[in-house]
Amino acid sequence: MNTTISPGAGPAVVAGAPRRVVARSTVKLVVTEAKLFVREPVSAFFSVLFPVILILVLGAAIPSFTEPSPDIGGRLPIEFYLPVTLALAIATVALVGLLSTLTAYREKGVLRRLSTTPVSPIRLLAAQLVVNLAALVVGCGLTVLGTWLAFGLAVRPNVAGLLLAFLLGSTAMVAVALLIAAVSPTSRTSMAIGSLVYYPLLFAAGVWTPGPLMPDAVRRVADFTPLGAASQALQDAWAGDWPRPLHLAVLAGFTALLGGLAARLFRWT
């Protein structure tokens, strides 16, 4: 082990020790938050299992979901609805799981107490992001795998475009959740605001009305919403194309704008 000794500064200072301590404590924090996440059955269910259950139930219960439809260019409705389900999972993790946890931690004084310890609230926030994004990746991966195994979809997605759309869609929705948490004084208020935002965004993503069946004016508006843009970008990539620059720009813009506002407005107490 190399040590760095400052002349006249007393004991030797081990170079890099604080960084190793921070890294170890952060890993422990992530593990702790992951255990708490798993012990919360509602969040775990809707983040990991609900997307794949939804797509499998729809495909099994509605025969027309696995038959070509002229309304969407001869594609299978189940093939079209899969990216919509991924967008639904992104919104649920951000606006239900992450939002409720952050506001509950602040309301219960967890963030305030952490601000007086070496474990800063920012590191807790980072741990929460890691855990929720990991759950989201697992849930979406199970959805894609389950759909492929159950219905044998013969598609060749643009993998790079799909990953980019997924990443930008996730960061944009996390930014929305962080901004709501930043301006909400209580958990009840945050969940009320989250619900008011959640359901219109699901409509924009095509959960109830697929994009091609939307009126043109509504579809144009949906293109400029974070979840609508994410859903369309995922649709394009799933079909083998590159996501349209408009949708990627919308997602990047929401991430930067709302994320910046959340950073400025977020209160730890």
* 61-86 per-position pLDDT tens digit: 887 777 877 776 677 788 888 899 99
CA distance 21 to 201: 41
In this structure, which amino acid lies at residue 47? S
Mean pLDDT of 217-241: 92
4 phi/psi in degrees, rounded to 5: -115, 120
Mean pLDDT of 189-211: 89
176 lies in a domain? yes
Calculate the alpha carbon distances from 198 to 65, 94, 187, 206 in Å: 25, 10, 16, 13
Query: Does the pLDDT value for residue 102 go beyond 80?
Result: yes
- Closest by CA position to 226, among listed 256, 196, 250, 198: 250
Residues with Cβ within 8 Å of residue 106, at least 6 apart in sequence? 112, 181, 267, 268, 269
Q: Report pLDDT for 21.
A: 65
Specify the DSSP class assigned to residue 158.
-
Query: Does the pLDDT value for residue 261 go beyond 70?
Result: yes
Mean pLDDT of 241-256: 96
> What's the domain range around 34?
24-265
Between these two residues, 149 and 117, which has the higher pLDDT value? Answer: 149
Mean pLDDT of 109-125: 77
Size of the chain, expressed as the number of residues it contains: 269
9 lies in a domain? no
Residues with Cβ within 8 Å of residue 209, at least 6 apart in sequence? 203
Mean pLDDT of 89-103: 89
> Structure pTM?
0.83
Mean pLDDT of 208-228: 85
Instruction: Using the CB atoms, write b or e for 207-237: b if 16+ within 10 Å.
Output: beebbeebeeeebeebbebbbbbbbbbbbbb
Calculate the alpha carbon distances from 76 to 59, 63, 155 in Å: 10, 11, 11
**Which segment of 58-67, 115-124, 138-147 scores lowest on mean pLDDT?**
115-124
11 phi/psi in degrees, rounded to 5: -65, 155
17 lies in a domain? no
Q: Report pLDDT for 258.
A: 93
185 lies in a domain? yes
Over residues 178-198, the pLDDT tens digits come to: 999 988 888 889 989 999 999
- The number of folded domains in the chain is 1
CA distance 10 to 83: 61
Instruction: Confirm if 55 and 82 have CB atoms less than 8 A apart.
Output: yes
19 lies in a domain? no
**Which segment of 10-24, 40-54, 119-133 scores lowest on mean pLDDT?**
10-24
Query: Does the pLDDT value for residue 165 go beyond 80?
Result: yes
163 lies in a domain? yes
Q: Work out the percent of the chain whose per-residue pLDDT is above 90.
A: 31
Specify the DSSP class assigned to residue 98.
I
231 lies in a domain? yes
Chain centre to alpha carbon of residue 70? 32
Query: Does the pLDDT value for residue 51 go beyond 80?
Result: yes
Count the Cβ atoms, other than its own, within 10 Å of residue 18. 11
Q: Report pLDDT for 58.
A: 85
Task: Name the token pair of 132.
Answer: 């929720």
Q: Report pLDDT for 230.
A: 96
Task: Name the token pair of 35.
Answer: 């255990």
Query: Does the pLDDT value for residue 164 go beyond 90?
Result: yes
29 lies in a domain? yes
